[in-house]
């Protein structure tokens, strides 16, 4: 048995039957050819978007493929090929130091580069799908394939790689295109307000502001187990929003391109009185209601019980179903 305590940011004390890491495409293909990758298996990144409800009766795989390579560069942009095992925030820091625009709003998101392409991570008005150009993969049979960004079928916190039939596809490299010309996304949350504290706006400053905002709201997983945002923000029709505004005129929302709107799930959870409340060792974070935390010794079932109670409250008060963003492992 292999302990997964250090491989999930919720800090759930569970084990896997086997654990296997690989550091290159060649090593992965060799492991496949030798029959070392047996079913059932689970491929993880940094474990920052997982909730284990019990021991995993199978193989847990983890990529250690590293490297950040410039594949093309013009006056306007730079194209990069990044190993799936690179820590996401290390990649963001590298880009900011290099003067490349695009990923700075995604600073301090936990996890690894490979998982960013599977999950379509996003924050403060930016989604990684708008920066990805291609995703390189190897499947369970050892076959390599490159998916164009269009083939990834990205949507809000979703991609083709999250479908059950594609769980046997392993992301090995992610290709990005970033801007070398100044290009910021600032009209989300309190970014502009926080920037007023500084005499000028640079990539370094924007990254610092994003980190400061996140740290003011989100607990450090090393101190208090969590997976960041536990729930996805629901997307509604404008008609549904207008109905809600009759009862909640100050309900916050963000316009989407297709005439729909996104409602902050954290606001609704807060309105239901859950912020700072706990059920046993699981709690809703007192600074950001979108985050569920392990106060110490929580099991996956404790987190699920709290999640279910919160979801029922939101459904009863607003008539809206909110869904976990976190991948729940219950095999």
Active site residues: 157, 229, 325
The count of other CB atoms within 10 Å of the CB of residue 158 is 17
Question: In this structure, are residues 132 and 117 in contact, taking their beta carbons and an 8 Å threshold?
Answer: yes
Judge contact between 229 and 157, C-beta under 8 A. no
Distances in Å between the alpha carbon of 86 and those of 32, 82, 93, 186, 214? 22, 7, 12, 26, 21
CB 157 within 8 A of CB 151: no
Q: Give 216-248 as a DSSP string.
A: HHS--TTTSEEEEE-BPPPEEEHHHHHHHHHH-
- φ, ψ for residue 282, nearest 5 deg: -105, 140
Q: Are 107 and 90 in contact (CB under 8 A)?
A: no
Quickly tell me which residue has 């208090």 as its tokens.
224
Q: Is 178:131 a contact under the CB 8 Å cutoff?
A: yes
Nearest-angstrom CA–CA distance, 96 and 102:
9
The CA distance from 287 to 69, in Å, is 38
């Amino acid at each position: 048995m292999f302990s997964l305590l250090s491989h999930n940011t919720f800090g759930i004390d569970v084990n896997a039957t086997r654990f296997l890491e690989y550091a290159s495409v060649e090593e992965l293909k060799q492991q496949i050819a030798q029959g070392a990758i047996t079913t059932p298996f689970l491929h993880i990144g940094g474990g920052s978007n997982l909730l284990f409800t019990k021991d995993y009766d199978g193989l847990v795989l983890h990529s250690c493929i590293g490297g950040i390579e410039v594949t093309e560069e013009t006056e306007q942009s730079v194209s990069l090929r990044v190993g799936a095992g690179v820590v996401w925030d290390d990649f963001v820091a590298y880009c900011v130091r290099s003067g490349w625009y695009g990923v700075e709003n995604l600073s301090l998101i936990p996890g690894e580069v490979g998982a960013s392409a599977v999950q379509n991570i996003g924050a403060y008005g930016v989604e990684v799908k708008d920066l990805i150009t291609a995703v390189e993969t190897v499947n369970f049979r050892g076959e390599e394939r490159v998916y164009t960004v269009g083939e990834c079928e990205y949507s809000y916190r979703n991609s083709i790689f999250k479908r059950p039939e594609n769980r046997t596809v392993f992301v090995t490299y992610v290709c990005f295109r970033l801007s070398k010309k100044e290009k910021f996304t600032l009209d989300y949350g309190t970014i502009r307000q926080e920037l007023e504290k500084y005499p000028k706006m640079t990539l370094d400053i924007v990254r610092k502001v994003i980190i400061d905002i996140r740290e003011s709201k989100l607990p450090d997983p090393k101190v208090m187990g969590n997976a960041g945002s536990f729930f996805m923000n629901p997307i509604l029709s404008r008609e549904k929003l207008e109905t809600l505004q009759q009862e909640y005129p100050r309900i916050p929302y963000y316009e989407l391109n297709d005439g729909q709107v996104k409602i902050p799930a954290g606001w609704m959870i807060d309105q239901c009185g859950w912020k700072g409340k706990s059920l046993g060792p699981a709690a809703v974070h007192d600074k950001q209601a979108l985050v569920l935390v392990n106060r110490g010794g929580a099991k996956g079932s404790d987190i699920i019980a709290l999640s279910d109670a919160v979801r029922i409250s939101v459904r009863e008060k607003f008539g809206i179903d909110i869904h976990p963003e976190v991948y729940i492992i219950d095999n």
